[in-house]
Structure 1
Amino acid sequence: MDIKQLRALVTIAETGSVTKAATLLHIVQPAVSRQLRLLEEDVGTALFSRGRYGMELTESGEIFVEYARRALAELDRARSEVQPAAGVAGVVTIGLLPSTCDLLASELVARVARAYPAIRLRISMGYTGHLQNWLELGEADAALLYDPKPSPTLQVRPILEERLWVVGRPDAGFKAESPVELRQVAGEPMILPNAPHGIRSLVEQTCASAGIELSIAAETNAMSVQKGLVLGGLGITILPSIAIMDDVARGLLSAAPLSDADLLRKIVLALPNTRRVPVAVRCVVDLLVDQISDAVRRGQWTAARWLGSDTDIG
């Protein structure tokens, strides 16, 4: 088994075609087929089957390709750190929560490009459970997480705390300057994420403590669907302000902060504790933290309270 065979495996899996894989790898098709054959002989099982839509991973292939991706990612990280370079270089994967992507992703890419042009940045979006899993598996280098479960495999750093907001159509009359209690809207049809999503857990804990019973109209883990159902008049929802301020500014939604003391979410920056953090990752993380502190200071991250040190926020 060698690196060429692993790259052939991953590329075929991503393209679904030996021919397309050969084009991307800049080698002839028979060479790709031979690398795959040698790999299958080495592991002792078929990794692909020919399906209606091209090369399809077998069950064994699905398992093996995930390990191959991680192995290649680690080798790429190692190569970028030991090769001579004019500056900091490497591939860095940052995980962002869906509610933070619109505010952070584009600006982070621009900041990294200006400060470290030799760094290739990858942005992965997911909910806390997914992001934490990717960190532990080595598929992400750092991530923003919402109140993650304690884990010895992660080092976490509190970044900010923000209040949750109740969100409805404009005719719901919610206003930023008029906080409401969850009890006041509990009788309305509620659109919430599926359990055990972080916001859902937080809302349910508050309801249990206060003896509140919600009327759940629909459940979805897609934030765009949450807002779409609200726009369609099917209920109200609960989201962090960062997720809906643009919609409120455009008059598409109305929103008010929830005054319940427990309805605060804490966002932390997480890095793996089980492997060395490369210089390139630390450089990107520093830029991300600076960017978030700037957003809080300028009021772009509405209703957020900075939890970093004074040196972080300048």
Structure 2
Amino acid sequence: MDLKQLRALVTVVEAGSVTRAARLLRLVQPAVTRQIRALEEELGVVLFERTRTGMQPTDAGEALAERARRALAELDRARAELTPPAGEVTGIVTVGLLESTVDLLAEPLVAELTRDHPGVELRLQTGYSGHLQRWLDDGDLDLSLLYNLRSSPSLNVTPLLRERLWVAAPPGAALHADRPVPFAGLTARRLILPTDGHGLRTLINGGAHQAGVSLNSAISTNSMAMQKRLARAGHGWTILPSVGLAEEVAAGLLCAAPLCEPEVLWTVVLATSRTGRVPRAVATVARVLTRLIRMTVAQSRWPLVEVEPALSAR
């Protein structure tokens, strides 16, 4: 198999048809079809089912496409690193941002890299911590912010800060940052919480168990944005880390207070893979991201956090 065949495979999977893939690859349709057939003949498997609605990858096709994406991404990365202009940091860096940090960090990160390191091609992925860690382990991310990961045999983990969980509600609830709310004070409230199995939900359930209370999970969702939207609309109170609420509280869309009795903290860490060398572009993006986090804490835009030594020393 060659690179042209792998690009054809990935493009057909993503485009859903040979016709659309040919347009994206700037090839004639028969050429793309020949490349797919050559792969199938070499491997002795069927990669696609031809249907009325387009090309549906088989299990074998999906498996090969997943590996082909990674191989092509590594080659693109090598090409960018090996042919840099003199003195310029270049390369492709894929960064994982926790959903709760996107509003605070994504735009400043893009702006600083565009200004100071234009040779870095940034690819941003967002998600919950468990998803990001899996993508990092699989090699789909170069570095990522994660929650509550102390150590890992496959990852280098640098703790940055610890933040409290907050309860948030519409402005009329008159919650205040200097008046923490005990878990026992939530028992009569309809709550909008993450779904079971999510790391945040596990922390919330643990806090409630310590307090000896049961919480009324009226609505569960796997979307932080949905939690906040439903809380703003008055469908219940919600619980999130402080950084996930900072923008809405500053805009007066929600009011919030830290939870107490017990106080629940979770740690934000920066994680990179232990395998292989760290490319210069990845190290550069890690430094920029860490500096941005330190700056947001210093400016009180990431409220009520405890800074770890690794962050304060940078």
Shift of 1:25: 2.0
Shift of 1:52: 3.9
For 1:90-239, list aligned pairs within 5 A. Answer: 90-148=91-149, 150-239=151-240
Letter in 2 for 1:68: A
Corresponding position of 2:256: 255
Q: Does 1:80 align with 2:80?
A: yes
Q: Which whole-Å deviations, capped at 9, do the CAs of 1:190-243 have from their partners, x for residues lacking one?
A: 111112212111111122222121111111110111112222322211011221
Corresponding position of 1:311: 313
| SS of the residue 2:231 aligns to | helix
TM-aligned CA distance change 1:51 to 1:273, over 3 Å: same
Q: Which whole-Å deviations, capped at 9, do the CAs of 1:108-166 have from their partners, x for residues lacking one?
A: 01111112111110000011111001101111100000113742011100011111110
Q: Which whole-Å deviations, capped at 9, do the CAs of 1:35-68 have from their partners, x for residues lacking one?
A: 1111111221121222343222122212221111
| SS of the residue 1:164 aligns to | strand
Query: Matched residues, percent identical?
Result: 49
Does structure 2 conserve the Cα–Cα contact (< 8 Å) formed by 1:229 and 1:235? Answer: yes
Quote the RMSD (CA, aligned, Å): 1.6
Corresponding position of 1:23: 23
Does structure 1 conserve the Cα–Cα contact (< 8 Å) formed by 2:165 and 2:242? Answer: yes
| SS of the residue 1:73 aligns to | helix
Letter in 2 for 1:40: E
Distance 1:226 1:22 in 2: 41
Corresponding position of 1:44: 44
| SS of the residue 1:95 aligns to | strand
| SS of the residue 2:181 aligns to | coil
Does structure 2 conserve the Cα–Cα contact (< 8 Å) formed by 1:296 and 1:305? Answer: no
Q: Which whole-Å deviations, capped at 9, do the CAs of 1:271-311 have from their partners, x for residues lacking one?
A: 01123221111111111001111111111112222213443
Letter in 2 for 1:183: A
Does structure 1 conserve the Cα–Cα contact (< 8 Å) formed by 2:161 and 2:311? Answer: no
Query: What is the TM-score with the length of structure 1 in the denominator?
Result: 0.94
- The more displaced of 263-272 and 17-26 is 17-26
**Structure 1, unpaired ranges of 5+:** none
Letter in 2 for 1:2: D
Corresponding position of 2:58: 58
Distance 1:91 1:52 in 2: 37
Distance 1:230 1:164 in 2: 16
Distance 1:84 1:189 in 2: 56
Distance 1:17 1:8 in 2: 11
Query: What is the TM-score with the length of structure 2 in the denominator?
Result: 0.94
TM-aligned CA distance change 1:20 to 1:253, over 3 Å: same
Corresponding position of 1:2: 2
Letter in 2 for 1:125: T
Shift of 1:84: 4.5
Distance 1:309 1:148 in 2: 16
Q: Which whole-Å deviations, capped at 9, do the CAs of 1:69-117 have from their partners, x for residues lacking one?
A: 1111222222222235332211110000111001111110111111211
Distance 1:66 1:72 in 2: 10
